[in-house]
Amino acid sequence: MAERTRVAVLLSGRGSNMQSLVAASRAPDARYDIVLVASDKPEAPGLTWAAGQGIATFAASPKGRPKAEFEGEIDAALRAAGVELIALAGYMRLLSPAFVAAWAGRILNIHPSLLPKYKGLDTHARAIAAGDTVAGASVHLVTEALDDGPVIGQTQVPVMADDTADTLAARVLVAEHALYPAALNGFLSAR
Ligand code: GRF
């Protein structure tokens, strides 16, 4: 069996993409294990779910202290867990250039748009406002700039005439759950 990469997920919220990454990691031919789920939000529901699965979790709050100190704690937890690659999944904080440099080429993110379109927030409302007939999600390598690194995988869904941002988000999210594990496995196989 191919050796598996030790992956940590960083999240800030519900963690549905993290759950799909964990589920897919249980396939015999998966290229990775989720060894840590970490968050900037101690109350993130994703942490509770991961702990319930027996996965190690870590939370550090950035409130009221320098970013370097907060990120230093995350970095130490990642290294203590022997993490080799970080998968951002709804992590709502921009990583500092120093952190990105320390993990260069080893941080992935999933973004709910067909990058380079609609970096940042409110991607679904912006796609609808633009009259797009196709939307989707992208997995990309993380660089210093927001939602900007090389795209390693994309998936498309149709935009329906009566879509709201919420109905489109729900359709894209289902596609995200298939995309992220496939892109991660593909990325690790190609290395
Ligand atoms: C997803 O739409 C992801 O693309 C974006 O944030 C959302 C996270 O959702 N980066 P979840 O926490 O994985 O359910």
User: Model confidence over 142-171: pLDDT tens digits?
Assistant: 999 999 999 999 999 999 999 999 999 999
Please tell me the predicted confidence (pLDDT) of residue 1: 58
Report whether residue 139 contacts ligand 1, using a CB cutoff of 6 Å. Answer: no
Which of the listed residues 110, 122, 147 should we mutate to test ligand 1's pocket, taking the one with most ligand atoms within 8 A of CB?
110
pLDDT band at 52 (very low <50, low <70, confident <90, very high): very high
Q: Which residue has a Cα nearest atom 10 of ligand 1?
A: 90
pLDDT tens, 95-106? Answer: 999 999 999 999
Q: Which residue has a Cα nearest atom 6 of ligand 1?
A: 90
Query: What is the number of other CB atoms lying within 10 angstroms of the CB of residue 172?
Result: 24
Report whether residue 136 contacts ligand 1, using a CB cutoff of 6 Å. Answer: no
Give me the residues paired with residue 32 across strands: 5
Residue 102's CATH number: 3.40.50.170
* 87, HSE (Cβ side, Cα atoms, 13 Å): 34
User: 154 C-alpha vs ligand 1 centroid, how far in Å?
Assistant: 15
Q: Which residue has a Cα nearest atom 9 of ligand 1?
A: 90
Please choose, from the candidates 174, 83, 100, the residue with its C-alpha nearest in 3D space to the C-alpha of residue 135.
174
Report whether residue 115 contacts ligand 1, using a CB cutoff of 6 Å. Answer: no
Q: 102 lies in which domain range?
A: 5-190
For the chain, what's the residue count?
191
Counted domains in the chain = 1
pLDDT band at 191 (very low <50, low <70, confident <90, very high): confident
* 41, HSE (Cβ side, Cα atoms, 13 Å): 16
Q: Which helix (H) or strand (E) covers residue 11, if one does? A: strand 5-11
Q: Which residues are catalytic?
A: 111
Orientation angle between helical segments 45-52 and 16-25, nearest 10 degrees? 20
